Chain A
């Protein structure tokens, strides 16, 4: 099937190079690849590599193998009468095809066939994109102060995984020293060494995603915020003006009437609102598009700080694949009675009820959300088998460490470690041991013994 796709640069070249193969694919598959290629300027480099690998792999298959791999999808398309869809724009075609599949009761079967197709080709793509000597990664998840941590339930989703490491927090009683020592940021305003080392090649190699601003404050103090260096950072609190702008626009649309959920989604996509200067540590166009996607397509990300953290972290893992990812969850507010039922409504000047925090509910939430970040990382080949996961809670004198290549639980018995030691462990894991730093790597985590 011929589509009218708006492609530029490398995406246009790729589509031209593989035009024969693409035209041979079932139309729904063809359209979905073109939809991705149309997003090229807003895709991260790992996504570019994946699209190239996908097209080259499919073009390299013998025609009979390609036919065989896509036969199930083609059969369902025929049964559903997909060839009757006349829209030649890939996204429009996709919408029309999905509607047709649903009307014909074929959507579930089609989806199953598509999943089966990718299960067939993914191993080859993963072997090509993520060889055994691919770089190691670190994912750190922090429960911020204020969350009502229940020690007996802490990290309860990870039963049977990792090792609990006792911590010495004598010099890290409050948030700022806790985070500084953990990230290797010197007292008095130096930049976090862990982030500096990881982001030397690109800010997109080190990400901070947090509900509040403590991590961003440390980066600011270290003056790591610059166009060419430092980390990539997303703070729910710092994005407030942007969130408010989006929320106001969506609320206004709701108040004036929405003809359908599809029309509402289209309106949301059309909004020309951008984060204000300084809201992002690194504000490349691809990041601005990413934040917008996170806030407009994630469940509850405009409304719930910790949901934002989880969703943004998972999307970063899937799409940008940073070497270092640090999440810091916080306390969320309780939903306001009644007015919270109206999506995107905001407090009014005449409202007298103050926002009320929910520390206990926040703990329940972040236990689940931090688990999801870990699960999604482990589903992503860039992280699977190559990642050291650390879970910490400010004020709690132990951490959970999971090596993804040796996830089984081990009895601790480890001596108490300082946060400086935890930093040294992460640096060592990433292959950039700190020079002249007082921390000592926790050897059992590095050696796995």
Chain B
């Protein structure tokens, strides 16, 4: 039950709530209507049978805190449920700059990126999203980036003349929506701020209605229906998030809810989900870092369960889970709070794959690179990488 709030006694607040509920109702109606139109549109394109979901176990996580035996306690779902179902590469490496944008950019392009660390520049080589959509002539709804990291607005595509916006992925930044709304809620001293989950949900719905571009999102609408359809989908995910009995509060949990809705609604063939709560490590509280690792582990597991519950994904989806980079070691680097030393601990990661086409319960000690993810995705989804440093993982890319 939400705490008693002065706002509940405010008639104008009640009026706003009625307006909001009307808007929500409109969204929900819309949620049902355009699905048929959407299905017709996709039927005309060359949508592949296979689906790929790449999850960045993101924010920078150390091997020793996760896939190393002493770290299994922090990733119980991966260690005991997902790894036995799939293939694990315990020796993976990130090469290049150890910032979030460039390391994730390397995953989605297969090429080291050296752009602005804070996301003001797009990747300089074509992404898997652009090449996938271009080669298969697919609409924007077929490739999505759902990112907790608020600086990933340009992660969906390069600015290259032959690629770029016409072929980029849709990018949504759920945490940015959350933060903008919270900022607004705490910008004055009047209540209820963020303590009343329902009031916060209302604020977020209104913020969504004011235009998602303001959050740094990049949504390329191929048909007029996508706008309201997307809004309806995201509105539902927000309601689910705020009404969840577990009372989630983190950015990654909102990313998870939005991912589920986008999967339900659009069933995209290619989805990159960026979790990022783990970067709380910068606060220097080891317990909060470990909490975030465990949360990410749980969300990855739930995401895979959700995929298995959807006919559009079951038995045809390959999931790849990979940290975009590590964090500094204790001895050679600056410790878990940072990822700036460039030491081996910053670069040593791992990759777990499972689902369609993936051998079960297997491990490969062969060293791989995070650069290999993009060409592997390309082989699974049947498109060519025009420029790529990585090599397809033969165990997955058949």
Contacts and interface: CB of A to CB of B under 8 A. Distances in A.
Interface of A: 102-105, 107-108, 111-112, 254-255, 260-261, 298-301, 303-304, 306-307, 310-311, 332, 335, 337-339, 341-342, 345, 348-353, 358, 360-362, 364-365, 367-369, 371-372, 375
Contacts of B183: 254-255, 342, 345
Nearest to B118: A261
Closest 5 CB pairs of A and B: A307-B284, A300-B283, A361-B287, A364-B287, A350-B191
B114 A102 contact: yes
Given A111-B342, A300-B282, A353 B182 contact: no
Interface string B175-194: 10011001101111111111
6 contacts: A107-B114, A108-B97, A307-B284, A339-B185, A348-B189, A365-B288
B193 A337 contact: no
B222 interface: no
Contact of B287 (A103, A365, A375): A365
Contact of B285 (A112, A332, A352, A375): A332
Contacts of A103: 114
A372 B285 contact: no
Where chain B touches its partner, the secondary structure class is loop
A365 B3 contact: no
Interface residues of B, number: 45
Contacts of B187: 255
Nearest to A345: B186
Nearest to B112: A105
Contacts of A348: 186, 188-189, 193
Given A307-B337, A361-B287, 8 more contacts: A105-B114, A108-B342, A299-B338, A338-B200, A350-B190, A351-B195, A368-B336, A369-B284
Contacts of A332: 285
A337 B191 CA distance: 15
Contact of A300 (B3, B115, B192, B337): B337
Contacts of B338: 299
Nearest to A301: B284
Interface of B: 3, 6, 96-97, 112, 114-115, 117-118, 120, 175, 178-179, 182-183, 185-195, 200, 249, 251, 282-288, 290-291, 330-331, 335-338, 342
A260 B118 CA distance: 8
B288 A335 contact: yes
In the complex, which of the residues B115, B192, B331, B337 has the most CB atoms of chain A within 10 Å of its own CB atom?
B337
Contacts of A303: 283
Nearest to A338: B194
Given A104-B114, A371-B330, A342 B186 contact: yes
A304 B182 contact: no
Contacts of B175: 341
Contacts of B251: 341
Contacts of B192: 350
Given A108-B97, A108-B342, A300-B337, A369 B186 contact: no
B193 A339 contact: yes
A360 B288 CA distance: 11
A108 B195 CA distance: 45
Contacts of A369: 284, 286
The A contact surface, by secondary structure, is helix
Contacts of A339: 182, 185-186, 193-194
A40 B195 CA distance: 47
Contacts of B288: 335, 361, 365
A339 B195 CA distance: 9
Nearest to A107: B97
A353 B200 CA distance: 15
A391 B285 CA distance: 19
A350 B193 contact: yes
Given A371-B330, A372-B330, A364 B290 contact: yes
B180 to A, nearest CB: 9
Contact of B97 (A102, A310, A350, A353): A102
B179 A260 contact: no
Contacts of B282: 299-300
A375 B286 CA distance: 16
Contacts of A338: 178, 182, 194, 200, 249
A338 B112 CA distance: 35
B343 to A, nearest CB: 10
Given A108-B342, A339-B186, A352 B195 contact: yes
Nearest to A298: B284
Contacts of A349: 189
A337 B200 CA distance: 12
Nearest to B188: A348
A25 B261 CA distance: 58
B189 A304 contact: no
B282 to A, nearest CB: 5
A337 B249 contact: yes
A351 to B, nearest CB: 6
A359 to B, nearest CB: 11
Contacts of B117: 102
Given A345-B186, A348-B189, A372 B335 contact: yes
A341 B182 contact: yes
A300 B290 CA distance: 16
A342 B182 contact: yes
A261 B116 CA distance: 11
Contacts of B330: 371-372, 375
Nearest to A262: B118
A108 B284 contact: no
Nearest to A104: B114
A350 B334 CA distance: 39
